[in-house]
Amino acid sequence: SSNSDSGKQLERQRDQRNRYLARNILQSQRLADALEGQRGVDYRRPVESLDQLHAQAFMVHGLFLDLVVGLANRHGGLFRLKCAGEGGEEFAQWDGQPETRGRFAFGGVKRVSSAVTKLDMAYARDVSRLLDLCRETLYFDTVEALLRCLLALSEDPRVEIVKVKSTMTPSVGGGTNSLLFAGMRFVGVYVRLSGSEEARSLCVETHVCELLMVLTDVARVQTPQRHAEYQKWRKCRRIMAVLLQSSLWVSRAFKCWGSRSNRIDNDYASTRGLNTRPNSARVSATFDTRPGSLSSPLAA
């Protein structure tokens, strides 16, 4: 809550500065809006360029990795090794030294090709919805260690948490109650470094970074082959979701058209003196078919 309050306070300060500039210096709101647009400092405007978002991810990744390494060292977080150690261990702690960095497989910055695929398949090419261009993963031996790290992250004054996603339990919030769920169990935390002076100096304090927290027992079963198969399945699931949504729209359109058609038929029948059943154009009254009878259709 303190992080969100500081973010709101910064936004209020920017608004006050802009109003002061418009009223007292420029004495024109139009000139102030034009100047604000030229400077490009409207922090509330969603990013529309993948190039811009990718550049932000590269600039903020070093600061984000330093934050993650500090959390890992204080709360028992581990990184995945590129090659298993002599004892078969797949995860180990890293002290942040450049000499040993090559031993670990870091998340880093998402490739442009992967980002484009995700934009096409999941986000309708809305670049502002990409929240995992800059990402890292921490592994924990116990749930208690994971929870301690999560609580410490929430209390860090440099960090503003904007979203938390958990697939650890079959809850509605986690989205794992569906029969189509086949993903890995994790806790995803999406943060901005809005309280970091270094991030502000680089103008990347609004960029959202992803930190995944995974149990080592779960991560050991995630082989590269299984991950590739999961990606194929996820692509098929997204296509199925689009087809299902389209079929629902078509079904609603036909239902609406059928209801309107029956209403027109009923209105027409009532003007002819005929009684019809709801949602049916078939005549429900019994007619006297004798010539000259007033109730005969021939009399009309």
Query: What is 46-222's CATH number, 3.40.50, 1.10.1740, 3.30.460, 3.40.630?
Result: 3.30.460
* Strand partners of residue 283: 276
Q: How many CB atoms lie within 10 A of CB 111?
A: 11
Domain ranges of the chain: 1-45, 46-222, 223-280
Task: Retrieve residue 138's tokens.
Answer: 């921490």
Q: Would you tell me the crossing angle of helices 143-154 and 50-75 to the nearest 10 degrees?
A: 120
- Considering the entire predicted model, what is its pTM? 0.64
Cα separation of 293 and 279, whole Å? 28
Predicted pLDDT at 300: 42
Find out whether 180 and 237 touch, Cβ atoms under 8 Å. Answer: yes
Instruction: pLDDT tens for the chain, 300 residues: list them.
Output: 566 677 777 778 777 877 776 777 666 777 666 666 555 455 667 888 899 899 999 999 999 999 999 999 999 999 999 988 777 789 999 988 999 999 999 999 999 999 998 888 888 889 999 999 999 999 999 999 999 999 999 999 999 999 999 988 765 444 545 545 556 789 999 999 999 999 999 989 999 999 999 999 999 887 777 767 767 766 776 677 667 777 777 878 777 776 666 665 565 555 555 443 444 333 334 444 444 444 444 444
| 69 contact partners, CB below 8 Å, separation of at least 6 | 94, 95, 96
Q: Which one, of 130, 134, 109, 111, lies nearest residue 121 by Cα?
A: 130
Q: Which one, of 202, 190, 174, 73, lies nearest residue 132 by Cα?
A: 190
